[in-house]
Amino acid sequence: MNVLDTFKLDGKTAVVTGGGGLYGRQVVEAVAEAGAKTFAAGFTMQKEEKTAEKLRSAGWDVTAVQYDQGSEESIQALLDTVVKQAGRVDVLVNNAVVRPMKSWDSPTEDFIKSMKVNATGLYLMTRLFGNHMAERGGGSIVNIGSIHGMIAPDFTLYEGLGWGAPPDYFFHKGGMLQLTRYAASTLGPMGVRVNVISPGGFFNHQEDIFVQRYNKRTLLGRMADETDLKGAVVFLASDASSYVTGANLVVDAGYTVK
């Protein structure tokens, strides 16, 4: 088989959570362009509908679907809906995130809200969809982590800006690395691969001073754009990575090695 054919997702079904967000849009685009019947799952839906509509008009098979990652019933309903419509799930990209905390001293309630979706919800997504894939004899789960799951915050980046790096984010992104390894170990014998991608910061028109500081911290001198994650996602979702599981693919322009 030609190596390029191993990257194709033709005939497969993919679910991307947070499919209308900053990174989510390009993740949906990537798996759809690779040939998957794609479900862009989201909470509030306007952005997911917009992403799905745009890609459908370009000829790709994309459907928006609502769910709440803070509810086990809703996660089960998402799986049931996709299986009803497509027969199965071959690829899950856990990309959704909620960011209730602002700083170290944010209300405890915000930490709990974060964990409900970003920790418990992530575990349930991985368990329910992973078990479904295991029953079918295979699949690929790609978790979207962050460099902030790997390193300490650099608060100098945010000096004078009034926003920054909240603790819950570092906590659940760090946990995601270990959940990925645990799930890879549990589901590997049933043919399900589980990997994590740790991206760096996405350029979203942040203050010039922040962007300048951030760019200097990378080896390539820039933040991520609307295509930078696509290749990594398709690689891990497809048979191109058939011997890769439990891995952390860092996509950060060298931020974490500097």
Ligand X SMILES: NC(=O)c1ccc[n+]([C@@H]2O[C@H](COP(=O)([O-])OP(=O)(O)OC[C@H]3O[C@@H](n4cnc5c(N)ncnc54)[C@H](O)[C@@H]3O)[C@@H](O)[C@H]2O)c1
**If DSSP codes are grouped into helix, strand and coil, which group holds residue 133?**
helix
- Smallest gap, in angstroms, from Cβ of residue 4 to ligand X? 27
d(CA 98, CA 112): 11
- 5/99 with CB nearer ligand X: 99
d(CA 114, CA 98): 6
- 60/255 with CB nearer ligand X: 255
Residues that bind ligand X in the complex, under the rule CB under 6 A: 17-18, 20-24, 42-44, 47, 67-70, 95-98, 117, 144, 146, 199, 201-202
- Smallest gap, in angstroms, from Cβ of residue 197 to ligand X? 9
- 67/171 with CB nearer ligand X: 67
d(CA 38, CA 30): 10
With CB atoms as reference, the residue minimizing the distance to ligand X is 21
Contact 25, 96 (CB under 8 A): no
- Smallest gap, in angstroms, from Cβ of residue 200 to ligand X? 6
- Smallest gap, in angstroms, from Cβ of residue 243 to ligand X? 25
Look up 214 and say whether it is catalytic: no
- 24/35 with CB nearer ligand X: 24
CA 222 to chain centroid: 21
Identified catalytic residue from 169, 214, 243, 255: 169
Main-chain dihedrals φ then ψ at residue 159, nearest 5 degrees: -55, 130
User: Residue with structure tokens 């398709």?
Assistant: 234
d(CA 47, CA 6): 31
d(CA 86, CA 162): 45
Residues with catalytic roles: 169
